[in-house]
Each structure stands twice: as structure tokens, then as C-alpha cells.
Structure 1
Amino acid sequence: MDVTGKSLKRILLSLAVFCILITGPGIACAEEATTQEKEILFSDYFKSMMDMAQDKYKGEITEKQMLEGALKGIFSTMDSYTVYYTVEESQDFFTDINGSYTGIGVVMSEVDGKIVIDKVYPSSPAEEAGIKKGDVIAQVDGKSVENLSLEEVAGLIKGPSGTKVVIGVLRNGTDGVIELEVTRRQIIINPVTHKIEGDIGYIKLESFNSNASKAMEEALKQMDKNNIKKIILDLRDNPGGDVGQAVSIARKFVKKGLITKLDFKSESQKDEEYYSYLEELKYKLVVLVNENSASASEILAGAIQDTGSGILVGTTTFGKGKVQNLYPILTPEAVEKYRKETGETFVNGYDLLEKHGIYPSDEEIIGWVKITTGEYYTPNGRMIDGVGLEPDVYVENEPEGKYKILEGVEKLRKVTKPSLNAQSEDVLNAEKILSALGYDVDTPDNLMDEKTVKAVAEFQRDCGLYSYGVLDFATQQALNDKLDELLLVKNRDKQYEKAVELLEN
């Protein structure tokens, strides 16, 4: 979401609604100084510190940069959920909440200094252009991205809707850079995927962005159309989001009664209680949770558990029982301007909007603050911050990182017999398999060095093969067999299997 390029009036309207939904009313009274003397003392002190910094610092720095640094410092002294965002930094946050942005439709991560495509959204420009999960970005518009950070690469890829960008990727199994032209456009992030297996429906909810409830409705329509009454709702690795979306979804699964209560510190914010009006449960429900199910996920899962509307399967959840409000912060010039106009001091743009109906301009907003303002309780009055929800049925899956090295691995081709100092893709794949099996090969590469030869010899001995460190065809076949076994374990979802078992029985 481009904050600076759109009307702040529209943003404030939409976010005012969002803040009410996520954490209660986003309005507080104008700031009150305890005494005029203290206000003057603090103001003079802060101004003197900025003057001293500008006088002594041998470098270039603006008053705005110092002010933003001070704001970051103030809010960083609070809990880890309280954050000050500059206008530029806030764009990513708004993208997560709004569920839309202008781009090509990929999720990227930085792995060992390389920018890797983790996900390609269905029907996105990236998918249409041929970009695939696992691709490594090498170039953007002909410019090498070597030594660039994830944020810098993302900045090169971003651009206005309708414009084109050429992404150069490296792909396993191909030689050289593949150049793919992509046309940027608005991307609507659908956080819901679903499938039907037999008489059981599976719904994966990745986040509670502004599209979540509508997407869930569409998924449930498909379930109803196919007469599905047994559902697995997957909240694993869901970090949360808009509480309003969580409440809306809860009303589709939770029996009539309290869903959650939000308790705020400030007297200016009324505590909120949200209810379900579902007279009769429509589905037999199992909810999958893990240590990364947090916040709004825990509100939904906690309501389902406390009301007996379903069974929780997996591991203990994250334990985020706090709620935050989002506030636009006025620039010092805007604070002074509106003090003269209203006779009151406002630093929070929502205060100005609520009390006087005034919408600050884009230029009058220096940044945004996401601040913890309260906590939530489950229907049974549990406050799970730092504790999490214990599942009804505890089931652990294999740690994801254990098999991450197998991503993109291919079976050995049995064409050559690599030995010491040989270089090939078969060597790389052999090293990945050996590493996953626990043999010491350092970081897998294409080179059959002495350490790899030693690991191959150990593997051969363990398998009853002739132990001499050469990747002969018998050894390659043994490694391929082990890869099949590893992938079965890697891809086995014991939590999902338990959910199916519970629904079938």
C-alpha cells in the first residue's frame, strides 16, 4: 500500500475501522501535560539535545532523521510488539493487513546471501511469466543483485502497475540466467487455500488479512456444495492479523456465546466483547496449531477449544495475548499548526480526526506507531500471553529445518562415477543427501573434495558396499533409495494424519 501516494483521508477512514476491529477504538484524548513547567523543561531539553548532536556530529543528519530516531528509541523501550514505523516502513505493514499491493506476486527470502523465491501466488504476473518456487534471483532489469539485501532487491522489483520488469533467475537443472519479463499489477493476497479428500475438507488459513473472512466464506461454500461436514482448519504458522477478521471467521465455527474479550489499559478505550450467534454447529472440526500460531490465530483457536466447538491438534501455540492499536503521528509543524487552530495539542492523527473532524495531509504525518494497548481473554477467561494454548491432542512433526537442505535436490543420474576433485550436479545432490543423513560434508557444493570422499566412504561402509569414496553406480542407487526414504519422512504430516484419524473415528 503506497501511503504517500494516496489520500490520507481515505487511509485514516479505513484504518480507523481496522483499529477498532483489531484492538478496540483507535481514539484517545488529547495529551495533557502535568504542569506547564515540566512541558517547557522537557521541550527545551529535547531541543538542546538535537542542537548538541547537530553541532558535534561530523556527518550529515537532518532534524527529521533525528526525530525519527528518537521516536524509534522511545517505542523500542516497550514490548517487542510496539514499533514505530517511518512512512516508508509502514507500507509493508499495510500490505500485510490490507492483503493487496502492486507487484509481481512472489514471496522472497534471503538464504546464504542469495535471494530465493519461496512462493509464487496463483494467477499472479510472476506465475504467468514462468517464475517458479526455488528460483534464485540473479538480475533485475539486467542489473546483478549480487551483494544486495532482500530489501534492496524488493525495491528494484517494485514499480507502478502496468510497468514491466525483467527478472533474471537461476534454476536448478538449467544452465545460465533465465530472463523473464513480468508486468506489474495489483496483487490480491488470498490467505485461504482448500481441498477435499474423500469426505474431509481441508482449509489452510495463512493470515488474518482483510481478505480472510471473504476467502473463508468461498472455501466453505465449496465444502457445502460437496456436502462436506468434516473439516480440518489449519492455523499452523499463522502469525495473526486483524482481530475483526478472526471474529468474523469464528462466527462460522464457534457455537453461540463469547468469542473473546479485549481489555484495554486506557479509560478512553472501552473494553470490547465479541460474540458468536451460531445456534448449531455445522461442521465436525479439528484445528491444527503449532508454535507459530499466534495472536488472532490463538483468539480463534482458543474460542473453538473453550466452547467445545472443535479439537485442537498439534503443539503449544506461540502465546501472544496482547493487542495493539495503530496511530498516525503528526510532524512537529503539524502539531504546532493545529495547536493554533484548536487550542489543543495533538500528536495522534486520530485524536484530531475524532475531536475536530480534521484530516491531516500526507506531509503532516511523520510515521505510524503500533503500540500495545491491552490484552485479550478466551471465553473461559484465560490470558495466554507467554503461555500459549495447549492442544487437546499433542502431536509433533519433524522440524522443518532438518530437511531444508533437500529442497531442490534431484536423484543421481548414474552417468559418471565422480571421484576426488570431480565437479558435477551429481556431486552436489549426493552431498545434500549425505548431509541430511548426518554425514559431514561441510556446505554442499559441486566439488568432490576430500571431506566428501570420506563421507561417501563412510556411507558405503554403513550400507555394506565397497568403501573407497567413489560415487559408483551402486552407491548412487543407494543414495537415491535413501532420498526416497528421507522425502517420505520430510513430507509426512503426522498432525494432519491425526486430524484425519479423529474425524474418521
Structure 2
Amino acid sequence: MQVRGRAVAAIVMLSVLASVIVTIFVTDKLEEVPVAASTSVAAAADRGTQLTDDELKQLNTVLDLLQTQYVTEVDRDELIDGAISGMMNALNDPYSVYMEAEVASKFSQSIEGSFSGIGAEVALENGQIVVVSPIKGSPAERGGLLAKDIILSVNGESLTGLTLQEAVNLIRGEKGTKAKLEVMRAGNSEPIAVVLIRDDIDIETVYSRIDENGVGVIEITQFSLNTAERFTEELAALEDKGIMGLVIDVRNNPGGVLQDVVAIAQLMMEQGKVVVQVEDRSGKRDKTFAEGGEKKDYPIVVVTNGGSASASEILAGALQEAAGATVVGEQTYGKGTVQVSFNQLFDDGGLIKMTIAKWLTPNGNWINEKGVTPNVIVEPPAIYSVARLNLTEELKEDQLSEKIRSVQIMLEALGYEVDRTDGYFSANTAEAVRKFQRDHGLKSTGIVDTTTASKLEEKVIAFIRDDANDPQMQKALEIAAGKKQ
């Protein structure tokens, strides 16, 4: 596959957010650009954009002052790293960051798709550490972390006022260690606790299956360096079985490699159709065209939610506007900028990741901070956003809390009658708890203890993973099965 456009467009891999996966994994998969980096630095010098003598004097004065007069001995390397980070922070662009050597090394390793941590991507938005999306099968997903959650503290240490890198340093940790997160979630009146055990995460990015009506389903969890190859294999296997339609699920997919999403999109687009446009600082637009693909003779549906970001939005926008696909679900995240990694600027192994362009849909729409609007909007039920229980004490009648509200929503989703879902533990709620306990061989007390909470969460997880209880997927399957072209 050849991507047309200026040289810089050919080497750029799309970043998901300015973010760092809290495992020190950045989903912004960007290629190494040693030649471009060297050329750009030389060009900058020719334009007189290096520091003047007066500016160098200012910095040296501060450096000397700190090293000789500060109350404690300072680490010179940390001061230099801080100065570089300060310049990047001055851009007020959450997608442009400096990574010191250790973080840069983990960033490079992440391109291979394997890393350790809790498995969630975070970004710094309005001074808050916000979850973009949890990774499928990760501790973050299993523990109930959701897109748009705001992480307030980690193991009792507040994240208020910290930079993204400082917050990541607190959240990350060795496999097997505990990360107790205090999280504020939309719709909750008080923070919730999410307790996760960090783990090694080896990402398989593509999953496929066929439903009973002959509709193929391919889930893409993110766009890594082998995702296009895996998608091509799975699509071919599905087509060999004669699928009647195709559903592509990119919910909670934070994005990734631009080249891979282009390769995937053009498989389902006519030759010469625009896949994506990249606009530089001067307003010049370069278009990437589909090559070697074809418009499919079966309907295509893309399923999205608020955790579908960046490359996921490129795929949804391209197929929606240029391949006649139907987008089903919720408004996407709204990440419409492109970053490039300059990884050979520093002898110590650090790198700079910087915004260099906007990306636009085939029709020229910039979705930044807006997202892709589905053709068919389907909101998920409340059970999908309910907080996990993580009990520290029993829940019983006449109490009022967010955890009780979670219990009520869980019980209702599982088919138990409750008279309210406002967090007040009513007599009716107690009876519903007793019935649940009897149905699952537990002591019928009407009190939610740790055993009852664990069983309740077990059943809820099974409920959520069942496609029959997923209205977004059900609508997508219905559309894909019902419109043979």
C-alpha cells in the first residue's frame, strides 16, 4: 500500500491523545523519523530559531543559581529534562510532550503491542487526568474503569496539579502491585474506588466471529503495527464463509497507527476514494487515496462510543463518508490532530512528540472536540457505566450511598425488581438482595457483604459480555443483516 501526499504525511502515525497509557504505553504509535528530525533541526537553525546569546545567558544563569544556591543538591539532568518539558507544556497542547529516556524507551517498546501496567490510556484535560479508554482484557477493563472517568488519586496520593508524566509515574507500577484509584464519574455525586492489580498485557488487537444470521463481526481494540495484517486475514476468512454483512466494533479503541487504519479502510473503499486528509499549519491539505480496495457488496456497520478516538474516528469517518457504511452507537471522542515523534534529537534517548497537523474526514470535516456523529444513535443501558462495588463495609437497609445505587442498577439489569435506583437502601432493595442470594446459594440476609458483592459483579460481567444484552451491537447486527446491496 502506498500512501500519497507529502513526505511528512507518509511517515506520520496518528496519536490517540496527548496521552500516555498509564502503563507507560502511549497509544500514539509514531514511526521513527531520524531523517526528518535532523532536517527539521537544521532548517530551524537556518531560520534563526535557535536560542539567542541573551536567551542562553538567561537559562545558564538560572541553571547556575539552582546548582549553587538551592537549599538541597539538585540533579542537573532532571533540571534539563524539566526545562524541555516546560517548553512543551507552554504550548498548552496535551498532544505535544517530551519523554525522558526511560519513558521514551517504553514508548518504543509499545509499538510491538506488549507492556505492563493497568491497561488504560489517560490524558490531561483542563488540569484533570481523564481516562480515554481501557484496553480489552486489561485490569482497567476488568476493574470497571470507563472512558471519561477522572482519576483523582492513586493509592491515596492526589493527582491534582500534577503534569501528565507525574500522574503516570504514580499510576504505573510493577506487575502484581495494587493501584487503588479514586475516580469521579459522570452521574455520580461522590467519588468511587477502583482497585486494580497491575499486570503484563500482551495485546491481540483483532477478534472476529460470525453470528447466527451470517453477519461477520470484527472487533479492533486498537491500531498497532500488525493490526492491518490481522484485519485483512480475518476479513478474508469471514468472506470465504460468505458473510451477509460486516460489523466493525471500535468501541473503547483509543486509536494508534495511521498507516494501519488507512490500510484497513481502503480494503472496503473504491479505488481513488479519499480515506483521510492531513492539513498543515499553512492550511495546505494532502489527501490519502484508497488503492487496491473495492466497495463491498454487503452492508458495513461501524459501532462506536465515547472511547472511540483518533484512528478509530478516521476509520468510522472514512467508511461513513466514502464507503456508504452506517455508524451505530454514541458520539466518538473527538481527537482530530496528528503527531510525529522525533526520536534522535537527544543523545540520552529522550524524544519529543509534537502536533504537526490536523486530520480531516474524506469530506473535509474536522472532528476535533466534536467527534463522529453516528447515523443511528444508540445509548448503552445504565449497567454499562455502573461503578464496581469494592466493598470496605456491608451495605444494609436505611443506608444511602453510590455503592447502593450500583447494587440497585445491577439487580435491575439482572432481572430483580427494585423500586428505586437512587442509592437509598429500601426494604424493597433488601428483598431483591435476598432473592438474588437465594438464587445463587448464598445466605439470604438482605445485606450486601463481600461474598454477595463478588457474586453480583460476577453475574454483571457475564451479563455485559453477552451480545444479547448489548443494544448497540444488536442494532448493528440488525442493520448489517437486513440490507443486502
Of the three residues 271, 279, 287, the one matched with 2:302 is 287
Tell me the equivalent position of 1:436: 406
How many angstroms apart in 1 are the aligned matches of 2:100 and 2:50?
Answer: 31
- Please tell me whether the aligned partners of residues 32 and 341 of structure 2 are also in contact (alpha carbons under 8 angstroms): no
Tell me the equivalent position of 1:223: 238
- Please tell me whether the aligned partners of residues 205 and 238 of structure 1 are also in contact (alpha carbons under 8 angstroms): yes
TM-superposed CA distance for 1:86, in Å, is: 0.8
- Matched to 2:63, the amino acid is M
How many angstroms apart in 2 are the aligned matches of 1:195 and 1:368?
Answer: 40
How many angstroms apart in 2 are the aligned matches of 1:310 and 1:324?
Answer: 27
Tell me the equivalent position of 1:140: none
Tell me the equivalent position of 2:363: 380
Q: How does 1:429-468 map to 2 (within 5 A)?
A: 434-438=404-408, 455=425, 457=427, 459-460=429-430
Tell me the equivalent position of 1:447: none
TM-superposed CA distance for 1:403, in Å, is: 2.5
Q: 1:237 to 1:133 in 2, by over 3 A?
A: closer
Q: Does structure 1 residue 53 correspond to structure 2 residue 66?
A: yes
- Matched to 1:473, the amino acid is S
Of the three residues 373, 381, 384, the one matched with 1:398 is 381
Q: How does 1:420-435 map to 2 (within 5 A)?
A: 434-435=404-405
- Matched to 1:502, the amino acid is I
How many pairs does the alignment contain? 374
- Matched to 1:312, the amino acid is V
How many angstroms apart in 2 are the aligned matches of 1:490 and 1:400?
Answer: 8
How many angstroms apart in 2 are the aligned matches of 1:272 and 1:248?
Answer: 14
Q: 1:366 to 1:394 in 2, by over 3 A?
A: same
TM-superposed CA distance for 1:87, in Å, is: 1.4
- Please tell me whether the aligned partners of residues 250 and 304 of structure 2 are also in contact (alpha carbons under 8 angstroms): yes
TM-superposed CA distance for 1:35, in Å, is: 5.7
How many angstroms apart in 1 are the aligned matches of 2:333 and 2:374?
Answer: 12
- Matched to 1:372, the amino acid is T
Q: 1:259 to 1:37 in 2, by over 3 A?
A: closer
Tell me the equivalent position of 2:438: none
How many angstroms apart in 2 are the aligned matches of 1:20 and 1:60?
Answer: 41
Q: Please state whether the residue corresponding to 1:288 is helix, strand or coil.
A: strand
Q: 1:263 to 1:464 in 2, by over 3 A?
A: closer
Q: Please state whether the residue corresponding to 1:64 is helix, strand or coil.
A: helix
How many angstroms apart in 2 are the aligned matches of 1:68 and 1:388?
Answer: 34
Aligned-residue RMSD, C-alpha: 4.8
- Matched to 1:98, the amino acid is E
Q: Which has the higher contact order (CA 8 A, sep 6+)?
A: 2
Q: 1:476 to 1:75 in 2, by over 3 A?
A: closer
Of the three residues 52, 65, 71, the one matched with 1:39 is 52
How many angstroms apart in 2 are the aligned matches of 1:322 and 1:109?
Answer: 17
CA-to-aligned-CA distance 1:424-460 (integer Å, 9 cap, x gap): 8999xxx998442459xxxxxxxxxxxxxx9364635
Of the three residues 313, 329, 340, the one matched with 1:325 is 340
How many angstroms apart in 2 are the aligned matches of 1:154 and 1:52?
Answer: 33
Tell me the equivalent position of 1:264: 280
Tell me the equivalent position of 2:95: 81
Q: How does 1:340-379 map to 2 (within 5 A)?
A: 364-379=347-362
Q: 1:245 to 1:497 in 2, by over 3 A?
A: same
Q: 1:109 to 1:305 in 2, by over 3 A?
A: closer
- Please tell me whether the aligned partners of residues 236 and 292 of structure 1 are also in contact (alpha carbons under 8 angstroms): yes
Q: 1:155 to 1:258 in 2, by over 3 A?
A: same
Tell me the equivalent position of 1:495: 472
How many angstroms apart in 2 are the aligned matches of 1:261 and 1:244?
Answer: 13
Of the three residues 181, 198, 210, the one matched with 1:196 is 210
How many angstroms apart in 2 are the aligned matches of 1:36 and 1:251?
Answer: 40
How many angstroms apart in 1 are the aligned matches of 2:256 and 2:297?
Answer: 25
- Please tell me whether the aligned partners of residues 18 and 242 of structure 1 are also in contact (alpha carbons under 8 angstroms): no
Q: How does 1:465-484 map to 2 (within 5 A)?
A: 473=444, 475=446
Q: 1:189 to 1:284 in 2, by over 3 A?
A: same
TM-superposed CA distance for 1:485, in Å, is: 9.9
Q: How does 1:127-138 map to 2 (within 5 A)?
A: none
Tell me the equivalent position of 2:289: 274
Identity of matched residues, %: 24
Unaligned runs of 5+ in 2: 1-7, 15-29, 123-133, 145-153, 158-166, 179-198, 410-423, 436-441
Unaligned runs of 5+ in 1: 1-15, 111-117, 127-131, 136-144, 158-166, 170-181, 332-363, 410-422, 440-453, 466-470
- Matched to 1:192, the amino acid is V
- Matched to 2:114, the amino acid is S
- Computing the radius of gyration from Cα coordinates, the structure with the larger value is 1
TM-superposed CA distance for 1:38, in Å, is: 6.4
Tell me the equivalent position of 1:245: 260
How many angstroms apart in 2 are the aligned matches of 1:91 and 1:192?
Answer: 25
Q: Please state whether the residue corresponding to 1:219 is helix, strand or coil.
A: helix
TM-superposed CA distance for 1:474, in Å, is: 7.8
How many angstroms apart in 2 are the aligned matches of 1:260 and 1:33?
Answer: 33
Q: 1:150 to 1:34 in 2, by over 3 A?
A: closer
- Please tell me whether the aligned partners of residues 25 and 270 of structure 1 are also in contact (alpha carbons under 8 angstroms): no
- Matched to 2:406, the amino acid is A
CA-to-aligned-CA distance 1:210-257 (integer Å, 9 cap, x gap): 121111122213312322231110011111111001101111122331
- Matched to 1:41, the amino acid is D
Q: 1:486 to 1:88 in 2, by over 3 A?
A: closer
TM-score (norm 1): 0.61
TM-superposed CA distance for 1:370, in Å, is: 0.8
Deviates more, 1:303-312 or 1:90-99: 90-99
TM-superposed CA distance for 1:393, in Å, is: 0.5
- Please tell me whether the aligned partners of residues 285 and 310 of structure 1 are also in contact (alpha carbons under 8 angstroms): yes
Q: Please state whether the residue corresponding to 1:50 is helix, strand or coil.
A: helix
